[in-house]
């Protein structure tokens, strides 16, 4: 992570809460005019006088989580995901002819809007099965995004896709 820059000391005047006392006060509280011209703070300190607010902090690229409090889910749940795969995966003719079977392990990111992004093959079996798995994952409908602390976040998701000959 990038270290944030050190905080800039801004000139401020201590805001004093009034308190009824019997003894005379040695240091009077700041006048209203002084308070409107400076920043009110918990202490009085010397520092830079600034007229405009500090520049906004640039937000970094959103983090991609692997585990979150609420994982992303396919519309209708896991059962519907398996139905979708069964209906949409077309066995590549080259793999059929060569008798290739096995599992293509996929990974992809479900973004904060539920869109499937950046599908990749972690471990493939060849014969066109890897490309078919990528095609099917790219064509998936939007998911319910994963959530961390109640906010939608980007989550990496791993999915095995099985290719078997009947």
Q: Tell me the per-residue pLDDT of 81-138, one tens digit each, with 9 for 90 and over.
A: 999 999 999 999 999 999 999 999 999 999 999 999 999 999 999 999 999 999 999 9
The answer on 91 and 32 residing in a single domain is no
Could you tell me the pTM of the whole model? 0.62
The answer on 27 and 2 residing in a single domain is yes
Evaluate if residue 28 carries a pLDDT over 80. Answer: no
Evaluate if residue 16 carries a pLDDT over 70. Answer: no
The answer on 115 and 41 residing in a single domain is no
Structural domain count of the chain: 2
What whole-number distance in Å separates Cα of residue 138 and Cα of residue 144?
Answer: 16
Model confidence at 32, pLDDT cuts 50, 70, 90, reads confident
Contact 92, 132 (CB under 8 A): yes
Range of the domain at 25: 1-56
The answer on 37 and 97 residing in a single domain is no
Evaluate if residue 21 carries a pLDDT over 80. Answer: no
**Domain CATH code at residue 132:** 3.30.2420
Which letter does DSSP use for residue 51 in this model?
Answer: S
The answer on 134 and 105 residing in a single domain is yes
Cα-based angle 114, 115, 121 (whole degrees, multiple of 5): 120
The answer on 90 and 12 residing in a single domain is no
The answer on 43 and 3 residing in a single domain is yes
Final residue of a structural domain among 9, 31, 56: 56
The answer on 156 and 87 residing in a single domain is yes
Average pLDDT over residues 72-76: 95
The answer on 31 and 111 residing in a single domain is no
- Strand-pairing partners, residue 157, are 108
The answer on 82 and 151 residing in a single domain is yes
């Amino acid at each position: 992570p990038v270290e944030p820059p050190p905080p800039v000391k801004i000139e401020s005047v201590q805001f004093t809460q009034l308190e009824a006392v019997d003894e005379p006060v040695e240091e009077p509280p700041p006048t209203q005019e002084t308070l409107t011209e400076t920043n009110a703070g918990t202490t009085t300190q010397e520092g830079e006088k600034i007229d405009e607010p500090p520049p906004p902090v640039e937000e970094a690229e959103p983090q991609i989580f692997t585990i979150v409090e609420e994982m992303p889910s396919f519309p209708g749940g896991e059962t519907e995901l398996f139905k979708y795969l069964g209906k949409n995966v077309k066995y590549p003719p080259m793999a059929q002819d060569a008798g290739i079977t096995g599992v293509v392990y996929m990974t992809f990111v479900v973004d904060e809007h539920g869109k499937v992004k950046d599908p990749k093959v972690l471990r493939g079996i060849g014969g066109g099965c890897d490309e078919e798995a990528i095609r099917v994952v790219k064509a998936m409908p939007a998911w319910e995004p994963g959530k961390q602390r109640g906010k939608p976040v980007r989550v990496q998701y791993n999915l095995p896709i099985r290719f078997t000959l009947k």
